[in-house]
Amino acid sequence: MSQKVLLTSKEVNIILHRLACQLIEKHLDFSNTILVGIQPRGTFLAERLKDLLENEYKISKIALGYLDITFFRDDFRRTEKPLEANKTQIDFIVEDKKVVFIDDVLYTGRSIRSALTAIQSFGRPSEIELLVLIDRRFSRHLPIQPDFRGRQVDAINDERVKVCWTEQDGEDAVYLINK
């Protein structure tokens, strides 16, 4: 198994700032916008973006929630091992709000399809957008594309993209792993 560095810590930081600026351009003061991190790994990106928006760009009162899609997945009953659910934490109504789904890697699109179904339990958003750190361009099973992307990656065959976050993995980096 070999791995190639796609993004260093410095590059991840630059991309996070760029994504934050793109969100500001589109949503201005975030008074009608909600950020939703897709569990489990989208939450790290969502928290980082919220922190940047509040501390670096001085935007206050950004609503952030976490959405668990485990039981909404179309492969829920197809796996050998039992799936472990994460915690959904959405303390607000999404009715008529602009929702920005945040995830680390967009691969087949199936997780986002699940998130679209799961969010309906909290109301009907006026709009839903998708922000991802990594967009695996040629891997889609569903017609889902990101509105905001950090980096586009062409991973083929058995290659896998691994996003590491300091909070969980001890470093900020993105690797392309070849099995």
Q: What is the pLDDT of residue 172?
A: 97
Inter-residue contact 84 to 72 (CB < 8 Å): no
User: How much is the pLDDT for 155?
Assistant: 84
pLDDT at 76: 54
Q: Which domains does the chain have, with CATH numbers?
A: 11-24+31-73+85-157 (3.40.50.2020)
pLDDT of 13 reads 97
**pLDDT (mean) for 37-49:** 96
Q: Taking the model in full, what pTM does it have?
A: 0.93
Alpha-carbon torsion (66, 69, 70, 72), positive or negative: positive
120-179 pLDDT, tens digit per residue, is: 999 999 999 999 999 998 888 999 999 999 999 988 878 999 999 999 999 999 999 997
Q: How far apart are CA 74 and CA 87, in angstroms?
A: 19
Whole-angstrom distance, CA of residue 15 vs CA of residue 46: 13
Is a pLDDT exceeding 70 seen at residue 74? no
Tokens of residue 157, six digits: 């065959």
Write down the pLDDT at residue 79: 60
Number of C-beta neighbours around residue 110 at 10 A: 16
Neighbours of 34 (CB within 10 A): 23
Beta strand pairing status for 98-106 and 33-38? parallel
User: Given this model, what pLDDT does residue 17 score?
Assistant: 98
Q: Is the pLDDT of residue 81 over 90?
A: no
